Amino acid sequence: NAGVTQTPKFRVLKTGQSMTLLCAQDMNHEYMYWYRQDPGMGLRLIHYSVGEGTTAKGEVPDGYNVSRLKKQNFLLGLESAAPSQTSVYFCASSFRTGARLNYGYTFGSGTRLTVV
Amino acid sequence: TQLLEQSPQFLSIQEGENLTVYCNSSSVFSSLQWYRQEPGEGPVLLVTVVTGGEVKKLKRLTFQFGDARKDSSLHITAAQTGDTGLYLCAGVRETSGSRLTFGEGTQLTVNP
């Protein structure tokens, strides 16, 4: 039972390069999320999706795009990477609102991205 | 300004000591969760509290949700080195659907 799988685990990009972070979940969760984690700032929501084919902006969406073509996959894209996007990126998934949300979010193990 | 303020940010104690971590807000939450994160891994859910005044115990960890559902605390009794990690509180506001708002976290180090 894999849970939430993120690829790659590490990546170094040059300023201006593009890349896509992949997230896959096998728990049939409806909702999926992308967060970034920076020292002293906690986890900040970038984008999220409440179902296949739908996406929405979170707190810090600028410079990122997302797609959810299949229920189990959520992709995060950086079109033109900047040093300010150096961070650890986490994907998470959950059931819908209500009592089932009390099972919490399931997180992947993260992607450490450095932009030089 | 963080919606959820955690204190302290850093805590270093000796094995066997007790500790309390606080999570405070001016907003009301429909539920509040605590996660623990170890280096190189994502956060893992410890507990969810949903009722004002609720107390939940998980072995040596005691979680409490404030009566007004604006704050929470995590108390660890007789800390062990295996308790070392980043503890995060996260809340669901009644107006935010499923989206969790996270505190900055408390980095706990338990020394042998």
* Cβ(A95)–Cβ(A29) below 8 Å: yes
Mean pLDDT of A68-77: 97
The fraction of chain B above a pLDDT of 90, given in percent, is 80
Contact list in B for residue A29 (CB cut-off 8 A) is: none
Nearest CA in chain A to B10: A40
Indicate the pLDDT class of residue A97, thresholds 50, 70 and 90: low
State the average pLDDT for chain A. Answer: 93
Burial class (CB in 10 A: 0-12, 13-18, 19+), A102: middle
Q: How far B103 CA lies from chain A's nearest CA (Å)?
A: 6
Q: How far A106 CA lies from chain B's nearest CA (Å)?
A: 7
Q: How far A93 CA lies from chain B's nearest CA (Å)?
A: 11
- Mark yes or no for CB contact B45/A103 under 8 Å: yes
A92: β partners: A33, A107
Say yes or no: B25 contacts chain A, CB-CB below 8 A: no
Q: Distance between CA A70 and CA A107 in Å, rounded?
A: 18
Contact list in A for residue B102 (CB cut-off 8 A) is: 35, 42-44
Structure tokens at A56: 């929405």
Q: Evaluate if residue A100 carries a pLDDT over 70.
A: no
Q: What is the pLDDT of residues B28-66, one digit of tens each?
A: 998 899 999 999 999 999 999 999 999 999 999 999 999
Q: What is the pLDDT of residues A19-60, one digit of tens each?
A: 999 999 999 999 999 999 998 788 999 999 999 999 999 999
Indicate the pLDDT class of residue B1, thresholds 50, 70 and 90: low
Residue B69: the pLDDT is 93
Give the type of residue at B5. Answer: E
Residue A11: the pLDDT is 96
Contact list in A for residue B35 (CB cut-off 8 A) is: 104
- Mark yes or no for CB contact B98/A90 under 8 Å: no
Mean pLDDT of B84-93: 93
